[in-house]
Amino acid sequence: MINVFFRKYFDKWVTRRLPATKQVTLNSRNLFIFPSKAGIHFLISCFILFLLGTNYQNNLILLMVFFLCSFMVTCLLLSYQNLAKLTLTATDSEAQFAGQDCQFILRLIHAKHHAQDLTFCFQKGQSKLTSIVNDDSVYLYATSKNRGYFNPGRITLRSSFPFGLYNVWTHLDFDYQLLLYPQPLENTLQDLSSSEHNVAHSMGKSRLGVDQFSTLKSYQPGESLKSVAWKQVAQGRGWLTKQFEQFSGGDHVLDISRLNHLALETRLSFLCYHIIELEKKGLRYALILPNQKIEMGLGSVHKKRCLTALALFERVKNQS
Residues near another protein (CB under 8 A) are 28, 37-38, 41-42, 44-46, 48-49, 51-64, 66-71, 73-75, 77-78, 116-117, 160-165
Distance in Å, CB of 58 to another protein, minimum: 6
Cα separations (Å) of 115 from 18, 39, 163, 167? 21, 20, 14, 14
Cβ proximity to another protein, 43 vs 276, nearer residue: 43
Distance in Å, CB of 32 to another protein, minimum: 15
Cβ proximity to another protein, 36 vs 193, nearer residue: 36
The 3-state DSSP class for residue 197 equals helix
How does DSSP assign 34-47, residue by residue?
EE-HHHHHHHHHHH
Residue (of 203, 181, 307) closest to 249 by Cα position: 203
- CA 196, CA 217: separation in Å to the nearest integer? 34
Give the single-character DSSP code of 126.
B
In contact, 206 and 265? CB cutoff 8 Å: no
Give the single-character DSSP code of 156.
E
Cβ proximity to another protein, 122 vs 273, nearer residue: 122
In contact, 85 and 115? CB cutoff 8 Å: no
Distance in Å, CB of 53 to another protein, minimum: 7
Cβ proximity to another protein, 37 vs 205, nearer residue: 37
Cβ proximity to another protein, 113 vs 231, nearer residue: 113
- CA 76, CA 166: separation in Å to the nearest integer? 7
Cβ proximity to another protein, 29 vs 261, nearer residue: 29
In contact, 211 and 244? CB cutoff 8 Å: yes
- CA 127, CA 152: separation in Å to the nearest integer? 10
Distance in Å, CB of 154 to another protein, minimum: 20
Distance in Å, CB of 43 to another protein, minimum: 10
- Percentages helix, strand, coil for the chain (3-state, rounded to 5) are 35, 30, 35
The 3-state DSSP class for residue 240 equals strand
The 3-state DSSP class for residue 261 equals coil
Residue (of 79, 154, 85) closest to 117 by Cα position: 79
- CA 293, CA 254: separation in Å to the nearest integer? 10
Distance in Å, CB of 112 to another protein, minimum: 14
Cβ proximity to another protein, 97 vs 161, nearer residue: 161
Distance in Å, CB of 124 to another protein, minimum: 20
- CA 36, CA 26: separation in Å to the nearest integer? 20
Distance in Å, CB of 270 to another protein, minimum: 42
Cβ proximity to another protein, 61 vs 95, nearer residue: 61
Cβ proximity to another protein, 44 vs 296, nearer residue: 44
Distance in Å, CB of 122 to another protein, minimum: 17
